[in-house]
Amino acid sequence: GLIRKPAAFISTICDERGQELSYCGVPITQVLERQLGVGGTISLLWFQRELPEWACKFFELVLIVTADHGPAVSGAHNTMVTARAGKDLISSVVAGLLTIGDRFGGALDRAAADFCAAYDRGQHPQEFVNEKRAKGELIMGIGHRVKSINNPDSRVRELKAYVTSRWPTWPVTRYALDVEAITTRKKPNLILNVDGIVAAAMVDLFRHCQLFTQEEGNNYIQMGSINALFVLGRTIGLVGHYLDQKRMKQPLYRHPWDDITYMSPLH
């Protein structure tokens, strides 16, 4: 019989061999004709299924509101400094992306895991906050450097309005909002931030909206697929900052001495 060489790779999301490229079995012309959009493309290539319109539109909403948050944040700053050091687009964008993590823009996965676990074990939000405090841990998805209850984040407001009106059920988002109600009593800037609201909404999408099995939902939460939304969104802004610096032919950046405290141990 025919002896096949075992394949070195298995791929399940995209096939470019036939006449027409297909995303998870859907020919590209259909993706276009049916106007599945960027959200539908994410749905096929990341989650191997056609999620409903309300979920795909949510991905697009997240991409729009996370696309940029000004030049002062870690990611944009790194991209601008790198561009001004004469580096190319990919180096500059990657330099910005590398700042994404637990403190900045990359708190979604851990926020999702923590909110999900606390909700699953039926822990009261106050107990959750107390436990985190007792362990000396920050609550992922809570807190912002400049936004607060007195200076609300309109991105969070829009995302919250979308989820609470379009999700069939959103218990973990409710849980995260209950946590916010407690933390903002301590300090007004301890709001549910962009990372936190997207994380909670995605847990609801994976776990409570009957679109994924329990195991699939848990796996996607653990794999890093929620941070991916911020990474993809913010890449739009980082490209913008790179082009902006190049367009204006900005010179090499050197940080001013008067903004650095030199504290050599010998003096």
- Output the DSSP codes for 1-47: -PPPPPPS----SEE-SSSS-EETTEEHHHHHHTT-HHHHHHHHHHH
Question: From the CB of 115, what's the least distance to ligand ACO, in Å?
Answer: 11
Query: Burial, 175: exposed, middle or buried (Cβ in 10 Å; 0-12, 13-18, 19+)?
Result: buried
Q: Tokens 């984040």 identify what position?
A: 153
144 touches ligand ACO (CB under 6 A):
yes
Interface region with ligand ACO, contact rule CB under 6 A, candidates 52-60, 90-98, 188-196, 248-256 = 188-196
Sole binder of ligand LMR in the list 36, 44, 55, 73 (CB under 6 A)? 73
From residue 219 to residue 238, the character string flagging contacts with ligand LMR as x (rule: CB under 6 A) and all else as - is --------------------
Identify the residue among 189, 225, 227, 235 touching ligand ACO (CB under 6 A): 189
Of the candidate residues 195, 212, 225, 238, the single one contacting ligand ACO (CB under 6 A): 195
Which three-class secondary structure state does DSSP give residue 101? strand
Among 22, 42, 51, 69, binds ligand LMR (CB under 6 A): 69
Radius of gyration of the chain (CA): 21
Residue type, 12: T
Phi, psi of 198 (to 5 degrees): -65, -40
Q: With binding defined as CB under 6 A, does residue 241 bind ligand LMR? A: no
Residue tagged 């002896």 (tokens): 3
Q: Applying CB under 6 A, does 77 fall inside the site for ligand ACO?
A: no
The Cα 38–Cα 60 span in angstroms is 7
Nearer residue to ligand ACO within complex by CB, 120 or 131: 131
Residue 194 near ligand LMR by CB under 6 A: yes
Q: Sketch the per residue contact string, 79 through 118, with ligand ACO: x for CB under 6 A, - otherwise.
A: -----------------------xxxx-x-----------
Q: Residue 190 Cβ, how far from ligand ACO at the closest point, in Å?
A: 6
Residue with the CB atom nearest ligand LMR in the bound state: 69
Instruction: Report CA-CA distances (Å) from 127 to 81, 106, 130, 167, 176.
Output: 43, 25, 5, 27, 13
To ligand LMR, the closest distance from the beta carbon of 146 in angstroms equals 6
Q: Cα 179 to the chain's mean position, in Å?
A: 20
Q: Which residues bind ligand LMR (CB under 6 A)?
A: 69, 73, 105, 145-146, 194
